Amino acid sequence: MDQSLVNDLKSQSRDDLLFRNGESNAGVPRMRTAYIALGSNLGDRVAMIEMACNEMDARGIKVKRASSLWETEPMYVLDQDRFVNGACEVETELEPLPLLDALQDIERSMGRQKIIDKGPRNIDLDILLYENETVVHPRLQVPHRLIAEREFVLRPLAELVPHRALDSTRPWKLIQDYLNELLPPATGHVEPLSTLTPLRASVAPLHALRSARATQVMAILNVTPDSFSDGGLHLPPSEAQSYTVERQDIEGDGPPSSSSPPSSVYLSTLRSTIQRFIASGATMIDVGGQSTAPGAPEVSVSEELSRVLPAISLIRSMPEAAHVSISVDTYRAAVAEAAVAAGADIVNDVSAGLLDDEMLPTVARLGCTVCLMHMRGTPATMSSLNEYPEGLIPTLAEELRERVDAAEQAGIRRWRIVLDPGMGFAKVGDQNLEILRHMPELRRWPGLEGLPWLLGSSRKSFVGKITGVTKPGDRIYGTAATVTAAVQGGADIVRVHDVLEMAQTVKMADAIFRY
């Protein structure tokens, strides 16, 4: 940098520097847009980044959008742990230097100590871009001078503003162009960068773009009397016989009603079921207290809570479940909030926030991971809403993208989102096969790239129709075929009833397709 320019900048007052382009600072400050790099490689890396984002929000530096989180190898100083990196778009009244001061104060308040340049750190916040301004100052250079050589910066930034120029003197060269120009290492095989989706602090996150990742097995625990294939499974025989669904002959009291606590016999039976799930290979358990089967009655919030909370609390109290993630299958914000307070890690919403306006803001406030499923209408009306004149896959992808946008606008960080195409929900027959055949296309769809996917084909009616198996509980082999197809297509989670059989299926499918 020319020394006379440096000396000139040093001599300017802050106002002179920040309004050097002839802007006036009179009146109400206008809101500015900036892009901030996020990084951590010490402690709970995701928690540190989320804490920093929350602190920015609290200080009036509003996080409007966030990229995915990416797990990356260290650069420059190689003898340190992997980083988690991301970027966010913020809206702020602060000019560049006051914004830098605020970010550095957040770092200090979180215990950041800079011992080695480019060395380990619990949190790192850098200004990458600020409006369309170029800032040259002894303390700050914007655009950040090392953006073009850092894949771990370009990748998240390209998610947010791929078609923006970095250099005002070269407006034709866009951020995506810089990313495309980064060459792979000259020798050796290096796994491409992958997004990271946290589930639970004690559980490894999902890596949706890592080729050798293990598929997660989500066990279905329906504490309902009327779910389509396992309703009444945890009810005492005397009560379960009044339902026409298939059930297993187990002893024990049924789920508690909203006016009675769970009995010891019921909890003992439930504990045995959970232990069997875990021993069979479940890495996640999805607890549901409201059936979404067509024709199933809608229960009250208090009734749904009385069903799911004892199960969630029980799972969380079991030492063998310490490394098992819990999701709550609900479309109600009040149930989601109580379930997370009881120990659930994930909200699995079949409506992606459409059936309760408070769901997405509630999940954002809770800071947990959410699964957004594609569905039309309600469980009572969805079966008649299965026409897709513009094509199933494009329509499904765009409707899911709209829900992702709604989630982000509500404040849910992108790295907290899982997607579900909703097999059997407003899809009939061969439409479900089309989803399985086109999973790679869905995973690459603009706006959905890098997000993990959950598929739930277990015992669905299309499996029974194709195989000729009438009873849902007997559709094991057909379900296994769909689970294998889901793994081949890139699913990160499969949601299943028959845990032992599907866990074995997943192991074999992973060995074939994930290497």
Q: What tokens appear for 405 in the block?
A: 């946008």
Residue 274 three-state SS:
helix
The closest of 280, 284, 262 to 272, measured between CA atoms, is 280
Which letter does DSSP use for residue 389 in this model? T
The closest of 227, 317, 311, 220 to 262, measured between CA atoms, is 311
Choosing from 210, 460, 507, 514, the catalytic residue is 460
Q: What tokens appear for 33 in the block?
A: 């847009």
Does the annotation count 376 as an active-site position? Answer: no
Torsion of the alpha carbons at 266, 270, 273 and 279, rounded to the nearest 10? -140
Question: Which H, E and C letters describe 431-444, residue by residue?
Answer: HHHHHHHCHHHHHC
Q: Judge whether 218 and 288 are in contact, CB under 8 Å.
A: no
Amino acid present at 171: P
Does the annotation count 173 as an active-site position? Answer: no
Q: What tokens appear for 152 in the block?
A: 């771990």
| All residues at 6 or more sequence positions from 361 whose CB lies less than 8 Å from its CB, including other chains | 333, 410, 411
Residue 45 three-state SS:
helix
Q: Judge whether 499 and 219 are in contact, CB under 8 Å.
A: yes
- Does residue 143 have a cis peptide bond before it, meaning omega lies within 30 degrees of 0? yes
Choosing from 45, 376, 414, 495, the catalytic residue is 495
Cβ neighbours of 496 (radius 10 Å): 31
Q: How far apart, in whole angstroms, are the C-alpha atoms of residue 3 and residue 241?
A: 87
Q: How far apart, in whole angstroms, are the C-alpha atoms of residue 278 and residue 82?
A: 30
Q: For Cα atoms 57, 61, 65, give the angle at the middle one, nearest 5 degrees.
A: 75
The closest of 362, 360, 395, 369 to 286, measured between CA atoms, is 369
- Residues identified as active-site: 460, 495
